[in-house]
Amino acid sequence: LKEDIHLASIAGGTDICGCFVLGNPISPVYRGECQSAGLGVDVQVFNPQGHSVVGERGELVCTNSLPNFPSGFWRDSGERYHRAYWDKFDNVWHH
């Protein structure tokens, strides 16, 4: 690849019409890592016990509210929506 091409991984996408983590053209790129949290996003990785961890595998979570979170699913009483994003950790969005 050319040196002036910036490749970056993201996470978030269509669920929130934005990114939890994304590329940053002024930060170095490391294989298997995302460069930056999205602006205003308190993104963390939780272990199965719900504790924030660094340098370990875990669940990508967002611990603050964002205005672009979906408010529900079409024709769903809220059960599917809750299972999809909120049932692993108390009051924390998981992706």
> Can you give the residue ranges of every domain in the chain?
11-94
Other beta carbons within 10 angstroms of residue 85's beta carbon come to 19
Q: Which residues contact 11 (CB under 8 A, 6 or more apart)?
A: 19, 20, 21, 34, 60, 95
- State which fold the 11-94 domain adopts: Luciferase; domain 3 (2.30.38)
Write out pLDDT tens, residues 24-35: 888 888 888 888
* pTM of this prediction exceeds 0.85: no
Complete DSSP assignment for 33-81: ---EEPTT--EEEE-TTS-EESSS--EEEE-S--TTS----TT--SHHH
pLDDT the model gives residue 82: 92
pLDDT tens column, 59-94:
999 999 888 888 899 999 999 999 999 999 988 998
